[in-house]
Homo-oligomer: A and B are copies of this chain.
């Protein structure tokens, strides 16, 4: 049992070693040899813990995502106003402290749409579900206090569209806008779904 825990620790350790390299290089420049060196272990050892490279990147992404989530959930908790909570939910990723996370998430998206790895697809589905549920609660709470601009809208549909929009903003933030513009525009967007 403790062996399993150790195995898990080592997995994390290896995956995190991968982070430094991935921040500097594109994924297909990440080599097992390089990774082994960075993690101070033998090349063969990596295969004791991972099936392949994508697995490692998935593990890294999961770790970073969990870290990111904990961080933002905590912050969102502290905020009392629900509309502001929602804004935080969509914009905290653009804070400087998440620069690395953003870069890795970007590369992970690259893999997601290049490979056909099932674990990755699974991760994406879970990401959606989690965000959906979390945002749904926020929206419901917020709509009790603030009136949504559209009274008739189905909450599920609204939540869904917000998540889609959030994803779109994230993706385009790498190409068409600056970070601060993105944050600003997201806030405007959130305001636009509420009555004045």
- B contact residues around A110 at 8 Å (CB): 110-115
Closest to A181 in B: B160
Question: CA A153 – CA B168 in complex, angstroms?
Answer: 19
Interface contact B28-A114, CB-CB below 8 Å: yes
Question: CA A28 – CA B111 in complex, angstroms?
Answer: 11
A119 interface hit (Cβ, 8 Å)? no
Interface contact B114-A175, CB-CB below 8 Å: no
Q: Which of A163, A175, A185 has the most CB of B within 10 A?
A: A175
Neighbour of A171 across the interface among B107, B111, B158, B167, CB < 8 A: B167
Give the contacts of A150-187 with B (CB-CB under 8 A): 150, 152-154, 157-158, 160-161, 163-169, 171-172, 174-176, 185
Question: CA A107 – CA B111 in complex, angstroms?
Answer: 10
Neighbour of A168 across the interface among B149, B165, B188, CB < 8 A: B165
Q: How many copies, total?
A: 4
- B contact residues around A176 at 8 Å (CB): 124-125, 128
Closest to A165 in B: B165
Question: CA A163 – CA B165 in complex, angstroms?
Answer: 8
5 additional contacts, CB 8 Å, given A158-B192, A168-B168? A107-B114, A124-B172, A125-B175, A161-B165, A163-B172
